[in-house]
Amino acid sequence: MQVNNIISFTVIEVELVELSYYNRRLSNSYFFFTSNSTNKANFTMNFFTLLAILLGFSFYSLFVDNGPVVVQALHKLYPKLQSLKNGNNTEIKQLHRTGFHFQPHRHWMNDPNGPMYFKGIYHLFYQYNPEGAVWGNIVWAHSISRDLINWKSLKPALSPSKPFDINGCWSGSATVLPGFKPVILYTGIDSQNRQVQNYAIPANLFDPHLTEWVKPDNNPIVDPGTEVNSSAFRDPSTAWLSFNGHWNTIIGSRSEQTGMAYLYTSKDFLNWTKVEQPLHSVPNTGMWECPDFYPVSHFGRFGVDTSVTGNWVKHVLKVSLEMTRYEYYTVGKYYPMTDKYVPDNTSADGWSGLRYDYGNFYASKSFYDPMKKRRVLWGWANESDSVQDDVSKGWAGIQAIPRTVWLDPNGKQLLQWPVMELNRLRRKRVMMIHQKLVKGQNVEIKGITAAQADVEVIFSFSSLDKAEAFDPSWVDAQAVCSQLGSRAQGGVGPFGLLTLASENLEEFTPVFFRIFKGETNETNHVVLMCSDARSSSLKDGLYKPTFAGFVDIDLSSKKLPLRSLIDHSVIESFGGGGKTCITSRVYPTKAVFEDAHLHVFNNGTESITVEYLNAWSMRSAWVT
């Protein structure tokens, strides 16, 4: 179909390289004393920037150098596969590797650990197997960046080496203490196979890369003792400073099937005491992994430091559920005088609660970025193919694009959006304006690299009269999406995007909305958002689920926004301005590289208008 209202042009972008040099004199006493420091920043054009310009690319330097959803079990061992090491000479298959998401060049990756901003550099630590593409041999890998998109890999920060972590260096967090002194808290698996909490500090605070880390011999600093289940006691959170000058951290655990976040407190960050009651617990939720606890401002998008309290903030508690392999969070009130967190009564506190992401997204971790006054969220997007596929291709696991998170003005949930730095990778752009879509119509968006793209679109509709009635028994959005899908004709919807589509639509992954009339009155509507992988690939043996969530949005404007990041084997979608987010991992066989296509579609009886669509080809990120 010939479309006349698509506008195409190319964005050419040149950026200078910022190199920062640090000359710092720090006290030898790590924990208590601050220091004076001097910084100087220079702007320079280096050889690689010039080469990138000549090749028609934009290269943004980041380094300071002399230069119920099913996922793979995190801790499942594959002894027969551990010896199948993907050495440096082994071919790493590029089909389905991402272009602008973070992933190591080879091998297995899972949880993001202790992301932080320190002296002008973003640090990302993550669980990594340096020996193969399955879980095992886990170390804390370490990469650095100046923009959260382009990354330089350093040597692992932590590896099993001492009695308190000889059987594993598992997840944890980083906290920057006063005086610019970072500390890692992490779970070690000790010589008795107990989960204990340890700390590590930089060997050289003069080094802004924090290349070397030291694990002092006074570890562990938190022992489960006899009161805590030593096999379910892990993932210490970023610490916060309380009004009484004590540091606090929470550690995920369970008591039988009651999930809980144990609270520990310390005067000096070395000697920790368990508070009598957990910060929060919920029956029948099972083991809580990777707990995250932080404040969000009532006003605006700016983030606040983890230690901030007061009436002008709410608090967020997020937990990753070992039993279901997805996460949920609540928004509520933290009472520092009594060390209790009480969720607001605006969402479920349990398995059916709010999620950051209703798809492939787990073990998330946030941090406060003091440079840009924002809270940034990382999450692991696991593979949905088989273990044998991962071993064959030589890699497994990516990180979702880091997201800025802030409190929705309604105070009931969070909003999320890809960090602004991602926009620097946008290249050629096409636009679609006022394109009407009648029932059964789809229109291809041509002129971009559809396998590696960023798409923002606003859909509109003139009336909601044709919306179908919502069945009050539909409490599970994923089940509704599975039942109705993108092909089933509706009243208002399904409408949205067909991503990673093959030429004849043998393969495609639809990301779409469907609008229903609510139970109470004609003006109350329910918005369903879906990302459906069932038609994503012709290959057998893949996990191809439907993912879905409801979108709490005011439809009085008769408009619905959607943004999708498409990157070969991952589609991250943000519905309603970031109210509902879904990440899908897919493995097309035909819709790959230049053979991938992108469409807008409508299968509802109510005509839909593409008010405004921007789609960009995306450059690949620089990951070394």
User: What's the Cα-to-Cα distance from 141 to each of 111, 245, 323, 612, rounded to whole Å?
Assistant: 11, 32, 26, 42
Mean pLDDT of the residues in the chain: 88
Q: Whole-angstrom Cα distance, residue 126 to residue 399? A: 9
pLDDT of residue 249: 98
Residue 487, pLDDT > 90, answer: yes
Residue 17, pLDDT > 60, answer: no
DSSP secondary structure letter of residue 421? G
The answer to whether 471 is a known catalytic residue is: no
Strands (E), 67-193: 107-118, 121-129, 139-145, 152-158, 169-177, 181-189
Give the Cα-Cα-Cα angle 124, 98, 444 (nearest 5 degrees): 135
pLDDT of residue 35: 31
Q: What average pLDDT does the segment 38-63 reach?
A: 33
Q: What average pLDDT does the segment 268-285 reach?
A: 97
Class of domain 107-418: mainly beta
**Residue 57: pLDDT band with limits 50, 70, 90:** very low
Q: What average pLDDT does the segment 545-553 reach?
A: 97
Q: Whole-angstrom Cα distance, residue 525 to residue 541? A: 38
Looking only at the bridges linking them, the beta strands covering 195-202 and 181-189 are antiparallel
Q: What average pLDDT does the segment 543-564 reach?
A: 97
pLDDT of residue 396: 96
What are phi and psi for residue 480, nearest 5 degrees?
A: -65, -45
**Residue 37: pLDDT band with limits 50, 70, 90:** very low
> What is the distance between the terminal CA atoms of the chain, rounded to a whole angstrom?
42
Tell me what percent of the residues of the chain surpass a pLDDT of 90. 83
Q: Using one digit for the tens of pLDDT, what is the confidence trace for 311-345?
A: 999 999 999 999 999 999 999 999 999 999 999 99
Q: What average pLDDT does the segment 10-24 reach?
A: 32
pLDDT of residue 90: 62
Q: Give residue 93's Cα distance to chain centre.
A: 24
CATH for the stretch 427-618: 2.60.120.560
Sign of CA dihedral 442, 446, 450, 452: negative
pLDDT of residue 519: 72
For the record, the structure tokens of 505 come out as 């639509």
Residue 604, amino acid: G
pLDDT of residue 320: 98
Q: Using one digit for the tens of pLDDT, what is the confidence trace for 356-381?
A: 999 999 999 999 999 999 999 999 99
> Does residue 365 come out as left (phi exceeding 0), alpha (psi in the -120 to 50 range) or beta?
beta
DSSP secondary structure letter of residue 52? H
Cβ atoms of 347 and 413 closer than 8 Å: yes
pLDDT of residue 79: 56
Q: Give residue 312's Cα distance to chain centre.
A: 26
Radius of gyration of the chain (CA): 24
What are phi and psi for residue 198, nearest 5 degrees?
A: -125, 170
The residue with tokens 């698509």 is: 6
pLDDT of residue 518: 84
**Residue 522: pLDDT band with limits 50, 70, 90:** low
pLDDT of residue 83: 45
Q: Where are the domains of the chain?
A: 107-418, 427-618
pLDDT of residue 68: 37
Cβ atoms of 382 and 72 closer than 8 Å: yes
Which residue is catalytic, options 111, 147, 223, 389?
111
Q: How crowded is residue 207: how many other Cβ atoms within 10 Å of its Cβ?
A: 14
DSSP characters for 205-253? Answer: TT-TT---EE--TT--SB--TTTS-TTSEE-PPPPEE-TTS-EEEEEEE
